[in-house]
């Protein structure tokens, strides 16, 4: 089964158009661009109004709590009513006319009124006539999208298509002062994906297709690694207080505190990563034993209507209702057992 899937996926990959720099990790050298446009992504062209470049800012940054760079598009707060589409654009090679492709990107938003969109324009050899167009569905936003959400659309590339132009970004309308964060742009052949899933259906299905887990709760309960970092910090704080009383020159002490803080931060990150890996291993084992197909992260924390961030988190929850097994308690128990 695994071998068959590998072969099939290889075929899909060979057939699929290749997006250059899909995760915005490579940045290009900038020359003559506005200062506010930092770290523009390689392989992408970013659109703006001629002589009005100050109305939009493009940059690729690693957001807080994120692991990789994402493209950020920020519309000026005083943007006029003029309708402009602010996009990162790329002509993608390797498509085959007559085939269908699903294009998608991950998005998060801050202060936007309208959902970012991804679209494909198929152009004839003259480069000026559209032969097909597809765009991901729009949606008005009344809260920020804090967890990555995938936007997508599917296009059938007509015969006579010479250019497959991908655009991902935001309209200016309703989005003044807001920022779209975009990452992991993907183009896959839609037919091949369907073949893969229908072939999979012939394999024995997972007995339990879906389960959930409250990852934050597992971290809270199973935190001995984090605790040891916290204890080390408390210990250091106590020592610093004692040293402060004795020491006459505070500069040496400040430098030592700074260096120690950096060490604690990286120790903390490592502790998080190691704990997460242990959680992953246990989840994997439980899923194999019980034949569970997919585990989705959810939160069991109740919404606190007096706390804005709690409400925002609650309304952005990907799981609204669940009657599938919750693995949280089992995973915590398994982790505690394995750590004894």
Residue with smaller CB distance to Ca ion, 121 or 179 = 179
Nearest distance in Å: CB 244, Ca ion: 43
Residue with smaller CB distance to Ca ion, 69 or 79 = 69
Nearest distance in Å: CB 113, Ca ion: 25
Residue with smaller CB distance to Ca ion, 68 or 263 = 68
Sign of dihedral through CA atoms 240, 246, 251, 255? negative
Instruction: State the residues that interact with Ca ion by CB under 5 A.
Output: 23, 68-69, 183
Round to whole Å and give the CA distance between 190 and 196: 10
Nearest distance in Å: CB 235, Ca ion: 37
Nearest partner of 116 among 185, 39, 55, judged by Cα: 185
Nearest distance in Å: CB 36, Ca ion: 21
Residue with smaller CB distance to Ca ion, 26 or 299 = 26
Round to whole Å and give the CA distance between 177 and 146: 17
Residues 6+ apart with CB under 8 A from 196: 5, 8, 9, 12
Nearest partner of 296 among 308, 283, 307, judged by Cα: 283
Nearest distance in Å: CB 62, Ca ion: 8
**CA angle, corner 249, sides to 247 and 254, nearest 5?**
90
Nearest distance in Å: CB 69, Ca ion: 5
């Amino acid at each position: 089964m695994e071998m068959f899937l590998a072969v099939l996926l290889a075929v899909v990959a060979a057939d699929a158009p290749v997006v250059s720099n899909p995760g915005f990790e490579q940045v290009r050298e900038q020359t003559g661009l506005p200062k506010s446009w930092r770290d523009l992504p390689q392989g992408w062209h970013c659109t703006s109004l001629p002589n009005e470049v100050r109305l939009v800012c493009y940059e690729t940054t690693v957001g807080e709590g994120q692991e990789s760079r994402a493209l950020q598009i920020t519309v000026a707060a005083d943007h006029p009513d003029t309708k402009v589409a602010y996009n990162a654009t790329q002509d993608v090679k390797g498509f085959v006319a007559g085939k269908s492709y699903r294009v998608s990107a991950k998005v998060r938003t801050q202060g936007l009124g309208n959902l970012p969109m991804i679209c494909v324009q198929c152009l004839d050899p003259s480069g000026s006539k559209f032969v097909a167009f597809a765009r991901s569905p729009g949606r008005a936003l009344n809260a920020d999208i804090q967890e990555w959400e995938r936007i997508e659309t599917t296009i059938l590339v007509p015969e006579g298509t010479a250019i497959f132009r991908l655009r991902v970004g935001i309209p200016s309308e309703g989005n003044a002062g807001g920022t779209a964060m975009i990452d992991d742009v993907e183009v896959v052949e839609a037919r091949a994906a369907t073949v893969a899933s229908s072939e999979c259906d012939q394999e024995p299905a997972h007995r339990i297709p879906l389960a959930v887990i409250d990852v934050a709760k597992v971290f809270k309960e199973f935190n001995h690694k984090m605790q040891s970092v916290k204890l080390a910090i408390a210990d250091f704080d106590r020592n610093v207080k004692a040293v402060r009383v004795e020491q006459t020159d505070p500069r040496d002490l400040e430098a030592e505190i700074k260096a120690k803080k950096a060490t604690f931060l990286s120790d903390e990150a490592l502790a998080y990563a190691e704990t997460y890996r242990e959680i992953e291993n246990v989840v994997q084992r439980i899923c194999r034993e019980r034949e569970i197909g997919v585990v989705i992260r959810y939160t069991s924390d109740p919404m606190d209507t007096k706390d804005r961030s709690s409400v925002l988190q609650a309304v952005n929850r990907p799981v609204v209702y669940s009657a599938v097994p919750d693995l949280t308690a089992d995973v915590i128990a398994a982790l505690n057992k394995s750590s004894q």
